[in-house]
């Protein structure tokens, strides 16, 4: 469309613009002269007789300069101003469209019979002889109310550009949503798929699948995460967190994520994506909340039990959340210690990008004949026939050829050439010591998942491998002290409890285990041993009851912090205070000996605000046993972390005194040793 516009009353400049009119439905691609509309008093010289194909014919509108409205009647003046404004707005809209040339009135370029670059040429390639048609005023409605057009867009790969009318075609209807039948088919496919790896580690994936079925049954098998052929906004947010699971050390390779860019998917594909995303959410929530490793399988000395989220509750929470990504993230431990290790993990990987790239998923030791998703990674790493087997189940088979390649690598790296793919081999493949440091951090992050989510506003924390005690109020450490913990063969257990009371001048009732292992052999050599050492002995049937009365020689010292537990382990003073100077302080039978017990006692009893001080506690030392109840029970957590971030923000590593971390690394499939 060729428009020559008059200026507004203020501008006084005429503009010209060239646009292409869209083809009219049912119109043939014949050639016809342009229709020319002339406004009143339009100069005939500006009319153009050139022609183009009918669907692109120019439509010329010539408008004279604006007239003065000062002496017009008020109605005519208002109409003239309104028409001028409308035409000025039209010219301004055209001027902002890309690909349109503008020229002042009187410089209108003539259109040759050759089409502009990018336009389709007439089929005949010639020029018809028909004359232009002049349509006299009044102006037709399309001039006063012109049709709207979209911005030019590429019509095809040959760079033809066209302008499509904004109202020329209705948008394509989105595909229908997945039906209950589609969801049921997708659930059946989920059940039929073999479990090549354990998505939940120690968790029960079959029970998780049953929970997924129950979730969909509870909503009459309506889709949860898809609509109009694509993932919903909540689904996309959830998927972004699932895709970043490695940031929290999580890994569920047996569960595939649906494509984020899915669009116009058929109902069956929507159902598959819906169920797949639900499976991934269940796997993530279970792993993040501690379902991947059972602490009881690591050691009988670990009594912490993670609160693994119920699968249906996890799905419903994420589905109902305003931010599905944040809701998924919340299944990870909220404690500051965990978050600091997570940040250090990111720093380790940023400093050595190969760490994340070389990370092998968790899984059991691989031997010939086993099927495992990691075999595909091993084949790729050793350049085996992965491409040829890509479409075959043999791609996941740990066969003799894979075992031979593994054995060759093991011998070349100083390992036993067994051909068995174990944690040591994974360590060597992943980069040695740098990978080992990362795996220690990951194992410690996993052990944080066992801790209670709410550890108490005021609490005592004892880290066994660090041999330290901290009393925390809010986010502030108000007291710290050295501790002595159990020997490797009598380890201090890992658990949470609450201190209820203090015993001053405690008696020690010797546990049966110590009587049998240590005292009985000495009694056999010296029947007076216990009496000479100040113990009171009572024979009760076939058993001995041994009690050490209060005093300077008492093994519990002068003060005992009581938190009744199944392990009969407590926090107490000691007469052997010289051992606190040792760097590695693992000497007890399992109880925890604390340095500066009176200072700790003052704080847990409420301090000066509750009229307690070290001096008052010291005044009670000597004489009979005294029981002092705390103003309120105080949480106590006996922890085991060999990696943590100190107050300066530095990553600290400690010896794995009891081997707990090594066993967690093995359970996760992370390398722990060569």
Yes or no: say if 327 and 281 are a contact pair by the CB < 8 Å rule.
Answer: no
**For position 108, what pLDDT does the model report?**
39
Q: CA 572 to CA 300: how far, in whole Å?
A: 23
The stretch 248-254 carries a mean pLDDT of: 87
Neighbour count for residue 222 (Cβ, 10 Å): 13
Output 307 or 141, whichever has higher pLDDT: 307
DSSP 8-state secondary structure symbol assigned to residue 12: -
Q: What is the pLDDT of residues 437-457, one digit of tens each?
A: 889 999 999 999 999 999 999
Tokens found for residue 236: 């996309």
Rg of the chain (C-alpha set): 41
Residues in the chain: 674
Give the closest residue to 258 by CA, choosing from 236, 289, 286, 284: 236
Position with higher pLDDT, 472 vs 149:
472
pLDDT tens-digit series, residues 19-30: 333 333 333 333
Evaluate if residue 400 carries a pLDDT over 70.
yes
Average pLDDT of 491-511?
95
Two tokens at 604? 């847990």
Q: Looking at per-residue confidence, does 640 or 170 come out higher?
A: 640
Beta-carbon contacts of residue 12 (< 8 Å; ≥ 6 apart): 65, 66
How many other β-carbons are positioned within 10 Å of the β-carbon of residue 386?
16
Give φ, ψ of 221 to 5 degrees: 60, 30
Q: Which of the four pLDDT bands, split at 50, 70 and 90, describes residue 523?
A: confident
Q: What is the pLDDT of residues 329-355, one digit of tens each?
A: 999 999 999 999 999 999 988 876 655
Q: Which residues pair with 145 in a beta bridge?
A: none
In DSSP terms, which residues pair with 154 in a beta bridge? 161
Name the DSSP letter for residue 110: P
**pLDDT reading at 5 higher than 60:** no
What local confidence, expressed as pLDDT, does residue 670 receive?
Answer: 76
What integer pLDDT is reported at residue 356 of this predicted model?
Answer: 58
For every residue of 288-336, DSSP letters joined together read HTT-SS-HHHH-TTB-----PPPHHHHHHHHHH-S-HHHHHHTTS--SH
- For the ranges 151-160, 278-287, 350-359, the lowest mean pLDDT is seen at 151-160
Separation CA 432–CA 428 (nearest Å) = 5
Question: What DSSP string runs through 25-53?
Answer: TT--S-EEPPEEEE-TT--GGG-----EE
- 536-540 vs 543-548, strand pairing mode: antiparallel
With a cut of 90, say whether residue 528 has pLDDT above it: no
Q: What tens digit of pLDDT does each residue of 530-561 get?
A: 888 888 888 888 778 888 889 888 899 999 99
CA 578 to mean position of chain CA atoms? 48
Q: What is the pLDDT of residue 338?
A: 97
Q: Name the residue ranges covered by the structural domains of the chain.
A: 2-162, 180-332, 349-446, 456-668
- In this prediction, residue 359 carries a pLDDT of 62
Residues 6+ apart with CB under 8 A from 645: 337, 340, 341, 343, 344, 651, 652
Please name every residue paired with 35 in a beta bridge, in sequence order, or none if there are none.
133
Decide if pLDDT at 326 tops 90.
yes
Q: What is the pLDDT of residues 222-240, one digit of tens each?
A: 999 999 999 999 999 999 9
Domain 349-446 = CATH 1.10.101.10: yes
CB atoms within 10 A of CB 256: 13
Q: For 181-200, what is each residue's pLDDT tens digit?
A: 999 999 999 988 876 566 66
Residue 376 DSSP symbol: H
| Closest by Cα among 449, 426, 433, 315 to 375 | 426
- In the prediction, which pLDDT does 671 show? 61
Residue 274: which of 235, 220, 312 has the closest Cα? Answer: 235
**What pLDDT, on the 0 to 100 scale, is given for residue 78?**
55
Q: What is the pLDDT of residue 98?
A: 47
CATH of 456-668, one of 3.10.620.30, 2.40.440.10, 2.60.40.10, 3.40.30.10: 2.40.440.10
Structure tokens, 135: 């349509």
* pLDDT of residue 607 exceeding 60: yes
Q: What would the DSSP string read from start to end of 120-183?
A: PPPSS-S---PPPEEEPSSPPHHHHSPPPBPPPEE-STT--EE--BTTSSPPPPPPPPPPHHHH
516: pLDDT confidence band, cut at 50, 70 and 90?
Answer: confident
Query: pLDDT at position 524, please?
Result: 86
Instruction: Of 652, 655, 18, give the one whose Cα is nearest residue 341.
Output: 652
Say how far apart CA 651 and CA 647 lie, in whole Å.
10
Mapped onto helix, strand or coil, the DSSP state of residue 234 is helix
Distance of CA 86 to the CA centre of its chain: 54
**355: nearest Cα among 270, 282, 440, 274:** 440
Q: How far is CA 10 from CA 14, 26, 87, 465, in A?
A: 12, 43, 13, 84
- pLDDT of 176 > 50? The answer is yes
pTM (2 decimals)? 0.65
Average pLDDT of the residues in 361-368: 83
DSSP string, 480-503: EEEEEEE-TTSPPPBEEEEEEEEE
What's the pLDDT at 452?
96
Measuring CA to CA, which residue among 273, 280, 281 is closest to residue 175? 273
More confident residue, 283 or 8: 283
pLDDT of 26 reads 39
Residue carrying the six token digits 């994936």: 205
The reply to whether 349-446 and 456-668 are identical in fold is: no
544 vs 516: CA distance, rounded Å: 9
Q: What 3 state SS string does 61-103 have?
A: EECCCCCCCCCCCHHHHHHHHHHHHHHHHHHHHHHCCCCCCEC
- Tens of pLDDT along 89-101? 655 555 554 444 4
Residue 254 in tokens? 């047996």
């Amino acid at each position: 469309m060729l428009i020559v516009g008059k200026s507004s009353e203020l501008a006084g400049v005429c503009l010209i613009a060239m646009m292409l009119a869209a083809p009219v439905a049912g119109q043939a691609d014949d050639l016809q002269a342009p229709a020319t509309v002339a406004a009143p008093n339009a100069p005939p010289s500006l009319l153009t007789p050139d022609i183009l194909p009918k669907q692109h014919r120019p439509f010329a509108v010539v408008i004279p300069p604006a007239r003065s409205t000062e002496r017009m009647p008020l109605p005519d003046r208002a109409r003239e101003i309104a028409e001028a404004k409308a035409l000025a707005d039209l010219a301004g809209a055209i001027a902002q469209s890309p690909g349109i040339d503008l020229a002042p009135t009187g410089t209108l370029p003539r259109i040759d019979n050759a089409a502009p670059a990018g336009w389709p040429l007439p089929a005949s390639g010639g020029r018809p002889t028909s004359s232009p048609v002049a349509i006299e005023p009044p102006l037709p409605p399309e001039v006063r109310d012109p049709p709207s057009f979209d911005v030019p867009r590429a019509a095809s790969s040959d760079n033809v550009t066209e302008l499509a009318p904004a109202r020329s075609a209705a948008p394509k209807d989105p595909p229908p949503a997945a039906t209950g039948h589609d969801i049921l088919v997708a659930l059946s496919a989920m059940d039929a798929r073999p479990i090549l790896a354990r998505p939940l580690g120690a968790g029960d994936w079959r029970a998780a699948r049953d929970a997924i079925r129950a979730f969909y049954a509870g909503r009459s098998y309506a889709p949860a995460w898809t609509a109009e052929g694509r993932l919903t906004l909540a689904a996309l947010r959830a998927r972004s967190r699932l895709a970043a699971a490695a940031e929290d050390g999580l890994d569920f390779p047996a569960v595939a994520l649906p494509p984020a860019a899915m669009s116009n998917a058929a109902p069956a594909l929507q159902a598959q994506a819906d169920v797949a995303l639900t499976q991934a959410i269940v796997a993530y929530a279970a792993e993040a909340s501690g379902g991947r490793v059972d602490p009881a399988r690591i050691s009988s000395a670990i009594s912490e039990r993670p609160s693994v989220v119920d699968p249906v509750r996890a799905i419903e929470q994420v589905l109902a959340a305003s931010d599905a990504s944040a809701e998924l993230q919340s299944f990870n431990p909220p404690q500051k210690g965990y978050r600091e290790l997570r940040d250090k993990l990111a720093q380790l990987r940023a400093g050595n990008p190969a760490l994340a790239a070389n990370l092998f998923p968790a899984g059991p030791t691989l031997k010939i004949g086993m099927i495992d998703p990691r075999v595909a990674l091993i084949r790729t790493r050793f350049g085996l026939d992965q491409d040829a087997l890509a479409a075959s189940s043999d791609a996941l088979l740990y066969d003799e050829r894979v075992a031979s390649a593994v054995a060759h690598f093991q011998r070349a790296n100083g390992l036993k050439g067994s051909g068995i793919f174990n944690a040591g081999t994974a360590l060597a493949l992943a980069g040695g010591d740098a990978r080992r440091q990362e795996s220690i951090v990951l194992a410690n992050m996993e052990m944080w998942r066992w801790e209670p989510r709410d550890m108490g506003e005021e609490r005592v924390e004892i880290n066994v491998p660090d041999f330290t005690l901290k009393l925390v109020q809010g986010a502030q450490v108000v007291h710290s002290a050295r501790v002595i913990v159990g020997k490797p063969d009598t380890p201090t257990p890992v658990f949470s409890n609450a201190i209820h009371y203090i015993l001053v001048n405690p008696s020690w009732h010797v546990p049966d285990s110590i009587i049998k292992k240590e005292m009985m052999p000495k009694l056999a050599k010296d029947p007076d041993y216990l009496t000479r050492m100040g113990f009171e002995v009572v024979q009760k049937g076939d058993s001995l009851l041994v009690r050490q009365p209060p005093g300077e020689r008492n093994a519990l010292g002068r003060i005992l912090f009581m938190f009744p537990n199944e392990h009969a382990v407590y926090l107490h003073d000691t007469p052997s205070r010289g051992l606190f100077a040792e760097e590695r302080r693992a000497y007890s039978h399992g109880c925890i000996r604390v340095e500066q017990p009176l200072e700790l006692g003052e704080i847990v009893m409420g301090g000066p605000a509750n009229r307690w001080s070290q001096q008052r506690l010291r005044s009670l030392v000597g004489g009979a046993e005294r029981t002092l109840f705390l103003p309120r029970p105080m949480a106590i957590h006996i922890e085991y972390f060999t990696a943590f971030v100190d107050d300066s923000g530095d990553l600290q590593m400690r010896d794995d005194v009891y081997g707990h971390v090594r066993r967690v690394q093995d359970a996760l499939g992370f390398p722990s040793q060569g």
